């Protein structure tokens, strides 16, 4: 990153890990200014605090090996910038806007500051629209908002990243929009796998990827979300496109802020979180919005520490979301994928005024059936199915068929499962649920509804199984 304007010189007075104090004789850099130091001026420091009239405290965005007290620091007063433009499509970047995919130099791009104010209220759209994903369980029970924020809550290993990659696949497949993936504190294995998967699926040309990896200093992980939003805002405001921004994982952003706060010597808040947690999260989240020119729809994976939804990180994130998708380890262990806990998940869009009367009433019926089944599980465990009344027996049958119908084979898992992925329209998903609730398939085996797309596939599956049984009996 070359220095452009008039250069000012400072001197390092102390180094504590990633935190560096710098003394300027005749100039005080503003907050968020970028400072260059080290060999070939490759170490980049962002100013986070002004200590007095001459000294600033900054956080290094790359490793600080080789820094010593007395070393000179240069700045031209500029902030951190990233490239924006059509030519960033299909590329992979780090927090500084450098390409990391070995595909050559970027051409014809502009550079834009990563720190920006959210769109003003008069520029925001007041219309509520649904964002369709092609995934039955989400479109029927947890409809997402176009230009809204949806949280994907779950512990480690319950399928957050798989669900995100499936949404990218479906978004690029049937929508003219742009997909952006922002990896905050990602493992390099996950980043590499995602890149290869997107390449194989043929959707890389409509995607931009940004990574602040797990091994990078907290400063880099703390800023990669802002960098991704700057790129997304370009496509929304300049190209008038809809952007699907996937963030994996927003908890790592909070965690990076916690590390930065600790290094700066701030007094920790509850459970060791930074006192400025609410402000820092708001500065990022409020930039995700639906404006008159386009929309940034964000789906954010949220790691929940120890599966505890009362953790401050989870609570603060909840307040920004229009939909919450809670993934359940119990569902995953039963093989019901996507492993969404349909009763704990909810959406603010699920009202008759937005999704329509038929969809709303059907969703309520499904929830009621599943909730009743949940209550009956204890009785079934103790006394067995035989002790239930005929009405309860019917509810259990409907609920078990609904649970299986709301599973779905994903395109991104075809190579692991051997089952071809399916994308299902909202109309077909509603039709299937309605027919199951009206007991149309009462005689069908439960297995016929597992891992299918449209309800017609259940009929085919049941008929095939029946034919196989008849053939076996004849033999």
Report the distance separating Cα 316 and Cα 297, nearest Å. Answer: 19
Tell whether the torsion through CA atoms of 77, 250, 256 and 270 is positive or negative: positive
Other beta carbons less than 10 A from residue 435's beta carbon: 15
Contact between 155 and 332 under an 8 Å Cβ cutoff? The reply is no
Instruction: Report the SS3 class of residue 147.
Output: coil
Token digits of residue 320:
């920004």
Q: What letter would DSSP give residue 188?
A: H
Q: Which of 346, 362, 356 is nearest to 429 (CA)?
A: 362
Round to whole Å and give the CA distance between 163 and 244. Answer: 14
Is 8 a residue of the active site? no
* 220-236 residues labelled b (16+ CB within 10 A) or e (exposed): bbbbbbbbbbbbbbbbb
Of the candidates 166, 186, 259, 280, the residue annotated as catalytic is 186
Nearby residues of 171 by Cβ (< 8 Å), 6 or more positions away: 133, 177, 179, 244
Active-site entry in 42, 86, 110, 187: 187
Task: Outline where DSSP puts E strands in 322-402.
Answer: 323-326, 346-347
- Residue 186 known to be catalytic: yes
* 187 has catalytic annotation: yes
3-state secondary structure of 29: coil
Of the candidates 429, 384, 380, 421, the one whose C-alpha atom is nearest the C-alpha of residue 402 is 429
Catalytic center residues: 160, 186-187
């Amino acid at each position: 990153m070359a220095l452009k304007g008039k250069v000012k010189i400072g001197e390092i007075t102390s180094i504590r890990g990633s935190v560096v104090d710098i003394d300027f004789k005749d100039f005080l850099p503003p907050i968020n200014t970028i400072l260059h130091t080290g060999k070939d001026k490759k170490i980049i420091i962002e100013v986070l605090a002004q200590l007095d009239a001459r000294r600033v405290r900054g956080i290094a965005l790359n490793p600080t090996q080789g820094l010593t007290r007395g070393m000179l620091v240069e700045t031209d007063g500029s902030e951190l910038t990233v490239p924006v433009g059509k030519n960033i499509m299909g590329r992979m970047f780090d927090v500084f806007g450098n390409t990391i995919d070995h595909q050559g130099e970027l051409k014809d791009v502009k550079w834009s500051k990563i720190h920006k104010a959210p769109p003003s209220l008069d520029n925001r759209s007041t219309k509520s629209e649904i964002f369709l994903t092609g995934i039955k369980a989400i479109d029927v029970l947890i409809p997402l908002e176009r230009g809204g924020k949806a949280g994907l809550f779950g512990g480690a290993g319950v399928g957050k990243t798989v669900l995100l990659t499936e949404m990218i696949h479906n978004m690029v497949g049937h929508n003219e929009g742009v997909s952006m993936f922002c990896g905050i504190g990602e493992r390099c294995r996950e980043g590499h796998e995602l890149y290869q998967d997107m390449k194989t699926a043929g959707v890389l040309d409509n995607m931009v990827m940004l990574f602040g990896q797990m091994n990078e200093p907290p400063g880099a992980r703390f800023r990669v979300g802002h960098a991704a939003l700057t790129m997304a805002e370009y496509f929304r405001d300049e190209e008038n496109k809809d952007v699907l921004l996937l963030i994996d994982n927003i908890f790592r952003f909070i965690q990076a802020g916690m590390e930065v706060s600790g290094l700066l010597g701030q007094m920790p808040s509850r459970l060791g979180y930074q006192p400025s947690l609410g402000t820092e999260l708001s500065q990022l989240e409020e930039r995700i919005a639906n404006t008159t020119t386009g929309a940034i729809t964000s789906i954010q994976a949220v790691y929940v520490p120890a599966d505890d939804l009362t953790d401050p990180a989870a609570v603060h994130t909840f307040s920004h979301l229009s939909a919450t998708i809670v993934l359940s380890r119990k569902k995953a262990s039963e093989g019901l994928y996507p492993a969404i806990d349909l009763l704990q998940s909810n959406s603010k869009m699920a009202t008759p005024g937005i999704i329509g009367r038929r969809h709303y009433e059907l969703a309520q019926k499904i929830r009621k059936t599943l909730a009743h089944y949940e209550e009956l599980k204890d009785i079934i465990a103790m006394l067995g199915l035989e002790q239930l009344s005929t009405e309860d027996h019917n509810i259990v049958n409907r609920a078990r068929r609904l649970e299986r119908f709301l599973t779905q084979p994903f395109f991104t898992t075809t190579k692991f499962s051997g089952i071809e992925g399916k994308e299902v329209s909202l109309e077909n998903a509603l039709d299937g649920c309605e027919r199951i609730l009206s007991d149309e398939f009462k005689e069908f085996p439960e297995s016929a509804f597992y891992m299918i797309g449209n309800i017609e596939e259940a009929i085919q599956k049941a008929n095939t199984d029946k034919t196989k049984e008849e053939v076996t009996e004849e033999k």
